[in-house]
Amino acid sequence: MKTGSILFLSPTRIALATIGMIVLGIALAPAQKEDPAGRKNRLADAALAEVPAKASARSNPFEGDAEVVAAGGKLFEQHCSDCHGKKGGGTRHGVSLLREEVQQATPGTLFWIVTNGVVRHGMPVWSKLPEPERWQIVSFVESLKSRPIKSEAGQSQPGNPPSPKPAFP
């Protein structure tokens, strides 16, 4: 009944076009990925600086709750560790969260970044996680400063002195 068309879109052509688009995406990506870590950190700092003052002023409703930190650790491993490393030390896809600039950020700032992402530089939005879960992740990230952790690359992290007392068991 509707045989024939303007465009002949065979499965092979669709597959080839898809592969072409993906290759194009990957070809464009190294512009970000192959930049030195310093640029990545500068972009992260710029993102932190862009957070509205009202959002930065928000306080963490779960402040000081050890169970929340543990739950946040679970969520971090599920959703964040692929890019930021299992211990937050960073990978070539995501900045280290152990950096002083991140650890000195207010809970509200971190919450805003988790919620809105940094889409133009590759971090997706995470508002699909309910608000309490995002605060749980923030609690975990804040707890990293008091943990004796080395980055995934094996470098020690300035501004994160080892603590004799872990933030949670």
Partner 1 sequence: MFAHVILKPALRKFACAIFFLTLFLSLLSCRSSWAQESPYIVTYDHYLEEPGSLEVEYFSTFGTQRGGNDFDAFWAEFEYGVTAWWTTEVYVAGQTTFHDSTIFTGTRWENRFRLLQREHVVNPVLYIEFENTNGADKILKEVEGHDVESDFADPNGESRKEHDHELELKLLLSSTFKGWNVAVNPIATKNLLPSEPWEFAYAIGASRPLALKASPRRCSFCPENFIAGVEMYGGLGDTESAGLHDTSHYLAPVVAWNLPSDWTVRLSSGFGLNDNSHRLLLRWGLSREFAGFGELLEHFLGGRR
Q: If binding is defined by CB under 8 A, does position 9 make contact with partner 1?
A: yes
Cα–Cα distance, 41 to 163 (Å, whole number): 25
Q: If binding is defined by CB under 8 A, does position 25 make contact with partner 1?
A: yes
Closest CB to partner 1 among residues 47, 149: 47
Give the single-character DSSP code of 152.
T
Q: If binding is defined by CB under 8 A, does position 21 make contact with partner 1?
A: yes
Q: How far is the CB of 96 from partner 1 (least distance, A)?
A: 18
Q: If binding is defined by CB under 8 A, does position 64 make contact with partner 1?
A: no
Cα–Cα distance, 86 to 110 (Å, whole number): 18
Q: How far is the CB of 72 from partner 1 (least distance, A)?
A: 8
Q: How far is the CB of 105 from partner 1 (least distance, A)?
A: 17
Return the C-alpha torsion angle 84, 89, 95, 98, nearest 10: 120
Binding to partner 1 in span 85-144, by CB under 8 A: 93, 115-125, 127-133, 136
Cα–Cα distance, 76 to 93 (Å, whole number): 15
Structure tokens at 39: 């640029």
Cα–Cα distance, 96 to 106 (Å, whole number): 16
Closest CB to partner 1 among residues 42, 93: 93
Stretch that binds partner 1, among 68-76, 101-109, 142-150, 157-165 (CB under 8 A): 68-76
Residues in the chain: 169
Rg (CA), the chain: 20
Q: If binding is defined by CB under 8 A, does position 29 make contact with partner 1?
A: yes
Q: Which listed residue (40, 41, 74, 149) binds partner 1 by CB under 8 A?
A: 74
